[in-house]
Chain A
Amino acid sequence: MNQQPNVAGNTPAKPFLSLTRINKHYRGAREPVHAAKDVSFELERGQTASLVGASGCGKSTVLKMIAGLLRPSSGEIHLDGRRLTGPDKGVGIMFQQPTLLPWRTVTDNVLLPIEIRQGKAAAKLAAERAKSLIHMAGLTGFEEALPGELSGGMAQRAAVCRMLVNEPDLLLLDEPFGALDEFTREQMNVEFQRICSARKATAIVVTHSIQEAVFLSDVVFVMSPRPGRISKRIDIDLPRPRTPDMVTSSAFNEYVREIHHCLFVRNSEANHG
C-alpha cells in the first residue's frame, strides 16, 4: 500500500513477499543437512500459495524461515518492502497441532497474541474482536470453554482465530488441517478461503494433500528433497470462490494429475540416481 521510494532498486511492481536464493543448512548428526537449496519465489498481495513435497523435503524449514523462527544460512526474505530478519507482527503462523494453552479459555487463547505484544489491557479492549472471530469460526457458545472441551476440528478453528486476531498480512500454515477428518477438512478449506479473500490476506500453506493444495491456491510450489528446492511452480487458474463440487471438475483434476506427476517423476528419478 504505502510505497517507499527511498529504498534502493525498487520497481513499482515490487512483489508483496519475495524469497531470494534462500539456503538452509542444519547441523546434522554426522554431516550438515542441506534442507533448503536456492529457494526463490514471489507472491503478490492476496495470493495463496501451497508448498507440497515428500516428507522431509524442507517444507517446514522454508515456512519457519519466513516466520523468522529459523535463520536462513544465506539469502533474503522481503515482506511488503522490508527485510525480514526475525518474527514479525505482520506474519501469523499456525502449526499442525492447535497448540492452545490448556488452562486458558478459547477467548483468552485467541487473545494471546495481543496480550503478548500489547499487554493485558489491550487484550481486554480487543475482546469484541476476538468474539466476532470466534463467531465467524462457528465456535459461538464456546467462548469460555477450555481447549480440553473442544473437538480436534474446533481446537484447530480456535487456532485459526488466534492467528487472525492480530490481523497479519501474511498467514503461514504448516499442515493446518492434516489431523482432521476429510469432512471437517473440506469445511475448513472453504472457510479459510473465505477469510483470505475477505481480508486480502496472503497465505502460504504446507500440505500433504494435493487436492487441498489445488483447492486453496493460486500457485502451487512442488518441492524435491535433498537438497530441498522448488522443482516446479504451477499456477492454478480456477475461478474463485472455489466450491467443494469443483473438486470433481476436469480442470481441477488436471491440476491434481500434473502435481502428482511432478512428485512421482521426481521420486522415480531419485530412485534411479
Chain B
Amino acid sequence: MAETSVIPSSEQAGMLIEEDDAHRSFVERTPQWVLVLAFGVILVTFWQAAVDLSGVSPLVLPGPYEVLQDLIFTVTNLFSGGYVLDATIVTVVEVIFGFSLACVIGLTLGAIIGATEIGRKAIMPYVVAVNTMPKVAFAPLFVAWFGFGVESKIMMAAFISFFPVTINTAAGLGATSGDLLMLFRSLEAKRWQTLLKLQLPFALPYIFAGLKLAAVWSVIGVVVGEYMGGGEGIGELVRIAASQLRVGRVFAQILLLSMIGLSLFSLVSLVEAYFTKWKQRDNH
C-alpha cells in the first residue's frame, strides 16, 4: 500500500517535467522573470497614462520619470555619504535593535507559552488580547515613555513585531505529533531533551515564518515611531518631503525603507535555509 502510494506521485512529477513543449501554454513556457518584467512595464505604462490623461498636477501625482529622477537623487545621496545615508544608518540601527528585541522577547515568551502548562493557560490569553489591539495606536505613548531618540522607535518596532514570533513559536512547539512525543516518553526523555531534540526542530519552520513577519513589521514599527516622535531616520525625511509636497521624493524614500525590510527578510530566509538544510535534501 505504502509503496504504491509513493511511486505514482513521483511518476506524475516526472511526467510533468517531460511534457511536450507544444502542449504547454504561453505562461508555462516563458521564464518567470520575463513575466514579472512585462507586467512591470504594463504597470508603468498605465501609471504614465493616468498622469497624462487625468491632468492631475505632477505635484500630487508625479509620473514614472519624475520618480525615477528622485530615486536617482536619493540613491546618489545615499552612496555619496549625504544626509540620506545618515538617516538610513539611524533607521537601520533602530530596525536591527527593534527586531532583535522582538526575537528575544518573542522566542522567550513563545517558549514559555508553548512548553509550559501555566504559560499556555495563564499568559497566552493576554498575548492574544493584546495582539488584537491596533498596536500602532500606542505610538504616542511610546514617545512619551521613551522620548524622541532612537529608544522610542526601537521599542515601538519590538512591540509591534514580537507578536508573530511569540505566537508562531508557541504554536510550533505544540505542533509535534503525538506519536513522536510518545516515542520520547517511552525513552524516558527529560523535559529539556524533548524540547531541544524534538519540539524545537519541529517548530523551526513556524518560528522562521514568525521571524519573517517580524522582519517586515519591525520596519513598520520604526517608521510609525519616526512619524510620531521625529528623530533623524528615514521616516522623518518622508514626513518632511511630504509636507513639502515632494511626492517623488517620498516614493523614493519609501522604496529605500522597503529595501531595508527586504534585506532583513532575506537575511532571515538565509538563516532558515541553513537550519532546514535537511528539508531541501528531503524534497529533491
Contacts and interface: CB of A to CB of B under 8 A. Distances in A.
Nearest to B190: A116
B187 A152 contact: no
Given A99-B180, A101-B180, A116-B197, A149 B188 contact: no
Interface in B243-284: 276, 278-279, 281-283
A153 B3 contact: yes
A148 B281 contact: yes
B201 interface: yes
A116 B281 contact: no
A115 B136 CA distance: 48
A151 interface: yes
Nearest to B177: A99
Contact of B283 (A69, A148, A151, A180): A148
Given A99-B179, A146-B278, A148-B283, A87 B188 contact: yes
The main secondary structure of chain A at its interface with chain B is: loop
B12 interface: no
Contacts of A103: 201, 276, 278-279
Contacts of B1: 179-181
A95 B2 contact: no
Interface string A39-75: 0000000000000000000000000100111000000
Nearest to B282: A148
A95 B187 CA distance: 13
A67 B186 contact: yes
Summarize B's interface: helix, strand, loop or mixed: helix
Interface in A165-192: 179-181, 184
Interface string B39-67: 00000000000000000000000000000
Interface string B157-201: 000000000000000000001011011111111000100011001
Q: How large is the interface on A (under 10, 10 to 19, 20 to 34, 35 or more residues)?
A: 20 to 34
Interface in B3-38: 3-4, 6
B196 to A, nearest CB: 11
Nearest to B3: A181
Interface in A66-104: 67-69, 86-87, 89, 91-93, 95, 97, 99, 101-103
B279 to A, nearest CB: 8
B281 A113 contact: no
Given A95-B182, A116-B189, A116-B193, A101 B2 contact: no
B175 to A, nearest CB: 13
Contact of B201 (A101, A152, A179, A181): A101
A116 B278 contact: no
B281 to A, nearest CB: 6
Contact of A116 (B4, B6, B184, B283): B184
A117 interface: yes
Interface of B: 1-4, 6, 177, 179-180, 182-189, 193, 197-198, 201, 276, 278-279, 281-283
Interface of A: 64, 67-69, 86-87, 89, 91-93, 95, 97, 99, 101-103, 112-113, 115-117, 146, 148-149, 151-153, 179-181, 184
